[in-house]
Structure 1
Amino acid sequence: MAPKTYSSSLPPLPDADFDTSSPTHASASQAELESSCPFCHISRTYPPYNPLTPPPPTSPSVSSSATSPQPSTFLLLSTPLLTAFMDILPLSEGHILLCPRRHAPKLTDSTAAEARELGYYLRILSEALVRTTGVADWNVVQNNGAAAAQVVPHMHFHVIPRPDLGSKRRERFTNTMFGRGQREELDEEEGESMAAKIRGAVAEILREEQEGKAKL
Protein backbone atom coordinates (compact mmCIF):
# COMPACT_ATOMS: atom_id res chain seq x y z
CA MET A 1 0.00 0.00 0.00
CA ALA A 2 1.38 3.43 -0.95
CA PRO A 3 2.23 5.72 1.98
CA LYS A 4 -0.24 8.48 2.74
CA THR A 5 0.68 12.01 1.77
CA TYR A 6 -0.64 15.38 2.86
CA SER A 7 -1.21 18.49 0.83
CA SER A 8 0.46 21.23 2.83
CA SER A 9 3.24 21.57 5.38
CA LEU A 10 2.24 20.64 8.92
CA PRO A 11 2.26 22.30 11.32
CA PRO A 12 1.37 25.54 9.49
CA LEU A 13 3.88 28.34 9.78
CA PRO A 14 2.79 31.52 11.55
CA ASP A 15 0.63 33.57 9.15
CA ALA A 16 1.15 30.89 6.50
CA ASP A 17 -1.21 32.19 3.84
CA PHE A 18 1.09 31.55 0.90
CA ASP A 19 0.66 29.01 -1.87
CA THR A 20 2.61 25.81 -1.04
CA SER A 21 2.33 24.30 -4.51
CA SER A 22 5.62 23.72 -6.32
CA PRO A 23 6.28 25.67 -9.55
CA THR A 24 6.12 23.69 -12.77
CA HIS A 25 9.31 22.84 -14.66
CA ALA A 26 9.05 24.16 -18.17
CA SER A 27 12.33 23.60 -19.99
CA ALA A 28 13.92 20.39 -21.22
CA SER A 29 17.28 21.51 -19.82
CA GLN A 30 15.69 21.88 -16.39
CA ALA A 31 14.29 18.36 -16.65
CA GLU A 32 17.75 17.05 -17.55
CA LEU A 33 19.26 18.78 -14.53
CA GLU A 34 16.64 17.24 -12.27
CA SER A 35 17.13 13.74 -13.69
CA SER A 36 20.85 13.81 -12.83
CA CYS A 37 20.54 15.60 -9.48
CA PRO A 38 20.96 13.32 -6.43
CA PHE A 39 18.83 15.62 -4.24
CA CYS A 40 16.02 15.60 -6.81
CA HIS A 41 16.25 11.81 -6.76
CA ILE A 42 15.69 11.88 -3.00
CA SER A 43 12.74 14.24 -3.42
CA ARG A 44 11.15 11.97 -6.03
CA THR A 45 11.70 8.89 -3.89
CA TYR A 46 10.23 10.07 -0.60
CA PRO A 47 6.67 11.47 -0.43
CA PRO A 48 5.79 14.17 2.11
CA TYR A 49 4.74 13.03 5.58
CA ASN A 50 3.41 14.93 8.57
CA PRO A 51 6.51 15.78 10.68
CA LEU A 52 4.34 15.72 13.81
CA THR A 53 3.84 11.98 13.28
CA PRO A 54 6.91 10.63 11.48
CA PRO A 55 6.76 7.11 10.00
CA PRO A 56 8.40 4.31 12.00
CA PRO A 57 11.99 3.41 11.02
CA THR A 58 10.76 0.28 9.21
CA SER A 59 8.41 2.26 6.93
CA PRO A 60 9.19 2.50 3.19
CA SER A 61 8.51 6.23 3.57
CA VAL A 62 11.85 6.65 5.37
CA SER A 63 13.74 3.50 4.37
CA SER A 64 17.42 4.26 3.79
CA SER A 65 17.55 1.74 0.94
CA ALA A 66 14.70 3.31 -1.06
CA THR A 67 17.17 5.32 -3.15
CA SER A 68 19.13 2.20 -4.19
CA PRO A 69 21.34 1.89 -6.22
CA GLN A 70 22.16 5.48 -5.23
CA PRO A 71 23.83 6.01 -1.84
CA SER A 72 21.62 5.30 1.16
CA THR A 73 19.43 8.21 2.28
CA PHE A 74 18.75 8.79 5.97
CA LEU A 75 15.62 10.93 5.80
CA LEU A 76 14.84 13.47 8.52
CA LEU A 77 12.01 15.58 7.10
CA SER A 78 9.81 15.49 4.00
CA THR A 79 7.23 18.21 3.44
CA PRO A 80 5.57 19.30 0.18
CA LEU A 81 8.27 21.96 -0.21
CA LEU A 82 11.37 20.61 1.57
CA THR A 83 13.44 17.54 2.32
CA ALA A 84 16.15 17.04 4.95
CA PHE A 85 18.54 14.12 5.32
CA MET A 86 21.89 13.12 6.81
CA ASP A 87 25.03 14.13 4.94
CA ILE A 88 26.63 10.86 3.80
CA LEU A 89 30.11 12.40 4.18
CA PRO A 90 29.60 14.12 7.54
CA LEU A 91 31.97 16.64 9.03
CA SER A 92 30.72 15.67 12.49
CA GLU A 93 28.14 13.36 14.05
CA GLY A 94 24.70 14.72 13.16
CA HIS A 95 25.73 16.71 10.04
CA ILE A 96 22.51 17.20 8.05
CA LEU A 97 21.30 18.82 4.83
CA LEU A 98 18.08 20.76 4.23
CA CYS A 99 16.95 21.67 0.72
CA PRO A 100 13.91 22.56 -1.39
CA ARG A 101 12.13 19.56 -2.89
CA ARG A 102 12.05 21.43 -6.20
CA HIS A 103 15.32 21.78 -8.13
CA ALA A 104 16.69 25.24 -7.26
CA PRO A 105 20.42 25.58 -7.97
CA LYS A 106 21.11 28.58 -5.71
CA LEU A 107 19.49 30.40 -2.81
CA THR A 108 18.21 33.12 -5.14
CA ASP A 109 16.39 30.45 -7.17
CA SER A 110 14.16 29.50 -4.23
CA THR A 111 10.62 30.85 -4.05
CA ALA A 112 9.33 33.04 -1.23
CA ALA A 113 7.34 30.08 0.13
CA GLU A 114 10.39 27.81 0.04
CA ALA A 115 12.59 30.43 1.69
CA ARG A 116 10.08 30.96 4.47
CA GLU A 117 9.76 27.25 5.18
CA LEU A 118 13.54 26.75 4.96
CA GLY A 119 14.00 29.37 7.67
CA TYR A 120 11.33 27.80 9.85
CA TYR A 121 12.76 24.29 9.67
CA LEU A 122 16.39 25.42 10.02
CA ARG A 123 15.45 26.49 13.53
CA ILE A 124 13.52 23.28 14.26
CA LEU A 125 16.26 21.01 12.91
CA SER A 126 18.95 22.95 14.80
CA GLU A 127 17.12 22.37 18.07
CA ALA A 128 16.53 18.71 17.14
CA LEU A 129 20.28 18.25 16.58
CA VAL A 130 21.15 19.82 19.93
CA ARG A 131 18.72 17.47 21.69
CA THR A 132 19.89 14.42 19.76
CA THR A 133 23.66 14.94 19.84
CA GLY A 134 24.01 16.89 23.10
CA VAL A 135 26.23 19.37 21.23
CA ALA A 136 25.19 22.97 21.96
CA ASP A 137 27.18 24.71 19.20
CA TRP A 138 26.71 24.32 15.47
CA ASN A 139 27.28 25.86 12.03
CA VAL A 140 24.67 26.67 9.42
CA VAL A 141 26.44 26.83 6.04
CA GLN A 142 24.98 27.54 2.61
CA ASN A 143 27.18 27.71 -0.51
CA ASN A 144 26.20 29.16 -3.90
CA GLY A 145 28.21 28.05 -6.94
CA ALA A 146 31.39 26.06 -7.51
CA ALA A 147 33.66 28.98 -6.54
CA ALA A 148 31.85 29.07 -3.18
CA ALA A 149 32.49 25.32 -2.59
CA GLN A 150 29.00 24.17 -3.64
CA VAL A 151 29.39 20.54 -4.79
CA VAL A 152 25.79 19.51 -5.59
CA PRO A 153 24.09 22.19 -7.74
CA HIS A 154 20.82 21.97 -5.81
CA MET A 155 20.51 24.69 -3.17
CA HIS A 156 20.96 23.28 0.35
CA PHE A 157 21.83 24.25 3.90
CA HIS A 158 24.34 22.32 6.00
CA VAL A 159 23.60 22.14 9.72
CA ILE A 160 26.75 20.88 11.43
CA PRO A 161 27.15 20.21 15.17
CA ARG A 162 30.45 21.59 16.50
CA PRO A 163 31.80 19.71 19.52
CA ASP A 164 34.84 21.21 21.21
CA LEU A 165 37.69 19.62 19.24
CA GLY A 166 40.69 21.64 20.37
CA SER A 167 42.42 24.31 18.26
CA LYS A 168 44.27 22.02 15.80
CA ARG A 169 41.25 19.82 15.11
CA ARG A 170 39.02 22.91 14.80
CA GLU A 171 41.31 24.27 12.09
CA ARG A 172 41.26 20.93 10.24
CA PHE A 173 37.45 20.81 10.57
CA THR A 174 37.11 24.31 9.08
CA ASN A 175 39.42 23.46 6.18
CA THR A 176 37.41 20.32 5.41
CA MET A 177 34.14 22.27 5.59
CA PHE A 178 35.24 24.34 2.61
CA GLY A 179 36.45 21.46 0.48
CA ARG A 180 40.09 21.24 1.54
CA GLY A 181 40.14 17.92 3.37
CA GLN A 182 39.01 14.31 3.46
CA ARG A 183 35.66 13.15 4.84
CA GLU A 184 34.61 9.64 5.84
CA GLU A 185 31.36 8.02 4.72
CA LEU A 186 28.50 7.78 7.19
CA ASP A 187 28.10 4.33 8.74
CA GLU A 188 24.78 2.69 7.73
CA GLU A 189 23.76 1.61 11.22
CA GLU A 190 24.71 4.94 12.77
CA GLY A 191 22.83 6.80 10.05
CA GLU A 192 19.63 4.81 10.61
CA SER A 193 19.79 5.32 14.37
CA MET A 194 20.59 9.04 14.21
CA ALA A 195 17.91 9.74 11.60
CA ALA A 196 15.20 8.06 13.69
CA LYS A 197 16.24 10.08 16.75
CA ILE A 198 16.22 13.36 14.83
CA ARG A 199 12.78 12.65 13.31
CA GLY A 200 11.51 11.98 16.82
CA ALA A 201 13.09 15.18 18.16
CA VAL A 202 11.54 17.23 15.34
CA ALA A 203 8.10 15.85 16.19
CA GLU A 204 8.67 16.56 19.89
CA ILE A 205 9.65 20.19 19.24
CA LEU A 206 6.70 20.78 16.92
CA ARG A 207 4.30 19.38 19.54
CA GLU A 208 5.83 21.63 22.18
CA GLU A 209 5.39 24.64 19.93
CA GLN A 210 1.78 23.74 19.26
CA GLU A 211 1.21 23.59 23.00
CA GLY A 212 2.96 26.92 23.54
CA LYS A 213 5.78 25.44 25.63
CA ALA A 214 8.74 26.12 23.37
CA LYS A 215 10.99 29.12 23.90
CA LEU A 216 10.65 31.75 21.19
Structure 2
Amino acid sequence: MADPNNTFDPTILPASEPCPFCTIANTYPTYDPTSPPGADSKLLDPDKAAPASFVVLSTPTLLAFLDILPLSHGHLLLCPRRHAPKLTDVDASEAAELGSYLRLLSKALVKTTGVYDWNVVQNNGAAAAQVVNHVHYHLIPRPEIRASGKLRESFTMFGRGVRSELDDDEGAALAAKLRENIKLVLDEESRKARL
Protein backbone atom coordinates (compact mmCIF):
# COMPACT_ATOMS: atom_id res chain seq x y z
CA MET A 1 0.00 0.00 0.00
CA ALA A 2 1.47 3.38 -0.97
CA ASP A 3 2.19 5.85 1.79
CA PRO A 4 0.13 9.04 1.12
CA ASN A 5 2.75 11.11 2.96
CA ASN A 6 5.54 9.58 0.85
CA THR A 7 7.59 8.71 3.97
CA PHE A 8 9.97 5.79 4.26
CA ASP A 9 8.47 2.65 5.78
CA PRO A 10 11.26 0.27 6.89
CA THR A 11 8.81 -2.65 7.11
CA ILE A 12 8.19 -2.75 3.36
CA LEU A 13 10.71 -5.00 1.66
CA PRO A 14 12.49 -3.80 -1.44
CA ALA A 15 11.50 -5.70 -4.59
CA SER A 16 14.92 -7.39 -4.56
CA GLU A 17 14.02 -9.25 -1.35
CA PRO A 18 11.25 -11.77 -2.07
CA CYS A 19 8.68 -12.43 0.62
CA PRO A 20 8.93 -16.08 1.75
CA PHE A 21 5.20 -16.23 2.52
CA CYS A 22 4.35 -14.92 -0.96
CA THR A 23 6.64 -17.63 -2.37
CA ILE A 24 4.68 -20.27 -0.43
CA ALA A 25 1.35 -18.73 -1.52
CA ASN A 26 2.45 -18.74 -5.17
CA THR A 27 3.79 -22.30 -4.96
CA TYR A 28 0.84 -24.14 -3.45
CA PRO A 29 -2.60 -24.27 -5.06
CA THR A 30 -5.85 -23.82 -3.20
CA TYR A 31 -7.98 -26.79 -2.21
CA ASP A 32 -11.32 -27.32 -0.52
CA PRO A 33 -10.56 -27.70 3.23
CA THR A 34 -13.57 -30.04 3.57
CA SER A 35 -11.78 -32.42 1.17
CA PRO A 36 -8.05 -31.98 1.85
CA PRO A 37 -5.28 -33.77 -0.01
CA GLY A 38 -3.94 -36.85 1.77
CA ALA A 39 -0.48 -37.34 3.20
CA ASP A 40 0.75 -38.97 -0.01
CA SER A 41 -0.58 -36.25 -2.33
CA LYS A 42 2.00 -34.44 -4.49
CA LEU A 43 -0.27 -31.35 -4.50
CA LEU A 44 1.24 -30.17 -1.20
CA ASP A 45 4.70 -31.68 -1.57
CA PRO A 46 6.75 -29.83 1.10
CA ASP A 47 9.79 -29.71 -1.17
CA LYS A 48 8.03 -27.58 -3.83
CA ALA A 49 9.17 -24.50 -1.90
CA ALA A 50 12.47 -23.70 -0.24
CA PRO A 51 12.70 -24.13 2.65
CA ALA A 52 10.26 -27.03 2.91
CA SER A 53 6.70 -25.87 3.63
CA PHE A 54 4.08 -27.96 5.41
CA VAL A 55 0.73 -26.54 4.32
CA VAL A 56 -2.35 -27.28 6.44
CA LEU A 57 -4.86 -24.87 4.82
CA SER A 58 -4.91 -23.29 1.37
CA THR A 59 -7.98 -21.27 0.42
CA PRO A 60 -8.22 -18.62 -2.31
CA THR A 61 -7.68 -15.98 0.42
CA LEU A 62 -5.61 -17.64 3.17
CA LEU A 63 -2.75 -19.99 3.78
CA ALA A 64 -1.74 -21.82 6.97
CA PHE A 65 1.43 -23.82 7.41
CA LEU A 66 3.72 -25.15 10.12
CA ASP A 67 6.43 -22.83 11.43
CA ILE A 68 9.81 -24.24 10.35
CA LEU A 69 11.35 -23.12 13.67
CA PRO A 70 8.50 -23.99 16.02
CA LEU A 71 8.29 -22.80 19.60
CA SER A 72 6.32 -25.98 20.32
CA HIS A 73 4.92 -29.03 18.53
CA GLY A 74 2.12 -27.85 16.22
CA HIS A 75 3.19 -24.17 15.95
CA LEU A 76 1.17 -22.81 13.00
CA LEU A 77 1.29 -19.65 10.91
CA LEU A 78 -1.83 -18.20 9.26
CA CYS A 79 -1.57 -15.43 6.67
CA PRO A 80 -3.42 -13.93 3.73
CA ARG A 81 -2.23 -15.08 0.29
CA ARG A 82 -2.03 -11.49 -0.89
CA HIS A 83 1.03 -9.65 0.35
CA ALA A 84 0.15 -7.28 3.19
CA PRO A 85 2.97 -6.17 5.50
CA LYS A 86 0.82 -5.38 8.57
CA LEU A 87 -2.64 -6.12 9.89
CA THR A 88 -3.77 -2.63 8.86
CA ASP A 89 -2.94 -3.58 5.25
CA VAL A 90 -5.47 -6.42 4.97
CA ASP A 91 -8.93 -5.62 3.67
CA ALA A 92 -12.15 -6.24 5.58
CA SER A 93 -12.96 -9.54 3.88
CA GLU A 94 -9.44 -10.89 4.50
CA ALA A 95 -9.67 -9.80 8.15
CA ALA A 96 -13.02 -11.57 8.55
CA GLU A 97 -11.70 -14.79 7.02
CA LEU A 98 -8.52 -14.62 9.13
CA GLY A 99 -10.65 -14.28 12.27
CA SER A 100 -12.93 -17.13 11.29
CA TYR A 101 -10.07 -19.48 10.52
CA LEU A 102 -8.15 -18.54 13.67
CA ARG A 103 -10.99 -20.09 15.66
CA LEU A 104 -11.29 -23.16 13.40
CA LEU A 105 -7.51 -23.73 13.29
CA SER A 106 -7.40 -23.42 17.09
CA LYS A 107 -9.98 -26.22 17.40
CA ALA A 108 -8.09 -28.40 14.92
CA LEU A 109 -4.80 -27.70 16.71
CA VAL A 110 -6.26 -28.85 20.04
CA LYS A 111 -7.63 -32.02 18.39
CA THR A 112 -4.27 -32.72 16.77
CA THR A 113 -1.90 -32.01 19.65
CA GLY A 114 -4.10 -32.76 22.66
CA VAL A 115 -2.88 -29.47 24.15
CA TYR A 116 -5.70 -27.30 25.49
CA ASP A 117 -3.68 -24.12 26.09
CA TRP A 118 -2.25 -22.02 23.27
CA ASN A 119 -1.23 -18.52 22.29
CA VAL A 120 -2.39 -16.55 19.29
CA VAL A 121 0.24 -13.93 18.50
CA GLN A 122 0.35 -11.31 15.76
CA ASN A 123 3.22 -8.81 15.47
CA ASN A 124 3.24 -5.60 13.38
CA GLY A 125 6.62 -4.18 12.41
CA ALA A 126 10.23 -4.81 13.37
CA ALA A 127 9.94 -3.06 16.76
CA ALA A 128 7.08 -5.45 17.58
CA ALA A 129 9.23 -8.51 16.71
CA GLN A 130 7.74 -9.12 13.24
CA VAL A 131 10.45 -11.04 11.38
CA VAL A 132 8.69 -11.81 8.08
CA ASN A 133 7.24 -8.70 6.46
CA HIS A 134 3.89 -10.34 5.63
CA VAL A 135 1.06 -10.17 8.14
CA HIS A 136 0.65 -13.50 9.92
CA TYR A 137 -0.72 -15.02 13.10
CA HIS A 138 1.13 -17.58 15.20
CA LEU A 139 -0.92 -20.32 16.87
CA ILE A 140 1.39 -21.80 19.50
CA PRO A 141 0.39 -24.78 21.66
CA ARG A 142 1.68 -24.43 25.24
CA PRO A 143 2.06 -28.03 26.50
CA GLU A 144 4.73 -27.25 29.07
CA ILE A 145 2.26 -25.24 31.17
CA ARG A 146 -0.27 -28.08 31.34
CA ALA A 147 2.40 -30.73 31.86
CA SER A 148 4.01 -28.90 34.78
CA GLY A 149 0.77 -28.46 36.70
CA LYS A 150 2.19 -25.12 37.90
CA LEU A 151 -0.23 -22.79 36.15
CA ARG A 152 0.82 -19.75 38.22
CA GLU A 153 4.54 -20.04 37.46
CA SER A 154 6.00 -17.72 34.90
CA PHE A 155 7.15 -19.36 31.70
CA THR A 156 9.25 -18.60 28.69
CA MET A 157 7.31 -16.44 26.28
CA PHE A 158 7.54 -16.02 22.52
CA GLY A 159 10.90 -16.31 20.83
CA ARG A 160 12.88 -16.85 24.00
CA GLY A 161 14.58 -20.15 24.48
CA VAL A 162 15.74 -22.79 22.05
CA ARG A 163 13.98 -23.28 18.73
CA SER A 164 14.99 -26.23 16.61
CA GLU A 165 14.21 -26.83 12.96
CA LEU A 166 11.08 -28.82 12.15
CA ASP A 167 11.89 -32.40 11.12
CA ASP A 168 10.63 -33.05 7.56
CA ASP A 169 9.02 -36.43 8.29
CA GLU A 170 7.39 -35.13 11.47
CA GLY A 171 6.23 -31.99 9.63
CA ALA A 172 4.64 -33.96 6.80
CA ALA A 173 2.79 -36.27 9.21
CA LEU A 174 1.68 -33.40 11.45
CA ALA A 175 0.46 -31.33 8.48
CA ALA A 176 -1.58 -34.27 7.15
CA LYS A 177 -3.13 -34.84 10.59
CA LEU A 178 -3.95 -31.12 10.92
CA ARG A 179 -5.60 -31.05 7.47
CA GLU A 180 -7.75 -34.01 8.46
CA ASN A 181 -8.72 -32.38 11.76
CA ILE A 182 -9.54 -29.09 10.00
CA LYS A 183 -11.92 -31.14 7.84
CA LEU A 184 -13.45 -32.71 10.97
CA VAL A 185 -13.89 -29.29 12.62
CA LEU A 186 -15.54 -27.91 9.47
CA ASP A 187 -17.83 -30.97 9.35
CA GLU A 188 -18.80 -30.44 13.02
CA GLU A 189 -19.48 -26.74 12.38
CA SER A 190 -21.62 -27.62 9.36
CA ARG A 191 -23.68 -30.13 11.38
CA LYS A 192 -24.23 -27.57 14.16
CA ALA A 193 -25.36 -24.97 11.64
CA ARG A 194 -27.98 -27.38 10.22
CA LEU A 195 -29.50 -28.07 13.67
What is the 5 A alignment of 1:25-36? 32=15, 36=18
Provide the rounded CA distance (Å) in 1 between the counterparts of 2:55 and 2:130.
21
Q: What residue ranges of structure 1 are gaps of 5+ in the alignment?
A: 1-22, 24-28
| Residue of structure 2 in register with 1:95 after alignment | 75
Are 1:63 and 2:45 counterparts? yes
Provide the rounded CA distance (Å) in 2 between the counterparts of 1:188 and 1:77.
18
What is the 5 A alignment of 1:61-210? 61-67=43-49, 70-163=50-143, 164=146, 166=148, 171=154, 173-174=156-157, 177=158, 179-210=159-190
Q: 1:55 to 1:31 in 2, by over 3 A?
A: farther
Q: What residue ranges of structure 2 are gaps of 5+ in the alignment?
A: 2-11
Provide the rounded CA distance (Å) in 1 between the counterparts of 2:93 and 2:193.
26
Provide the rounded CA distance (Å) in 1 between the counterparts of 2:147 and 2:13.
42
Could you state the TM-score of these two structures normalised by the residue count of structure 2?
0.85
Contact 1:48–1:78 (Cα < 8 Å) also in 2: yes
1:213 shift after superposition: 7.0
Contact 1:124–1:205 (Cα < 8 Å) also in 2: yes
How many residues align? The count is 181
Contact 1:74–1:191 (Cα < 8 Å) also in 2: yes
1:66 shift after superposition: 1.0
Contact 1:62–1:74 (Cα < 8 Å) also in 2: yes
Are 1:40 and 2:22 counterparts? yes
RMSD: 2.3
| Residue of structure 2 in register with 1:8 after alignment | none
Residues 109-157 of structure 1, C-alpha deviations (whole Å, 9 max, x = no match): 0010100000010001000010010001110000000110100010000
Q: Could you say which structure has the greater relative contact order, defined with CA pairs below 8 angstroms and 6 or more residues apart?
A: 2
User: Residue 148 of structure 1 aligns to which amino acid in structure 2?
Assistant: A
Provide the rounded CA distance (Å) in 1 between the counterparts of 2:13 and 2:66.
26
Residues 81-107 of structure 1, C-alpha deviations (whole Å, 9 max, x = no match): 000000010001100000000000000
Contact 1:45–1:66 (Cα < 8 Å) also in 2: yes
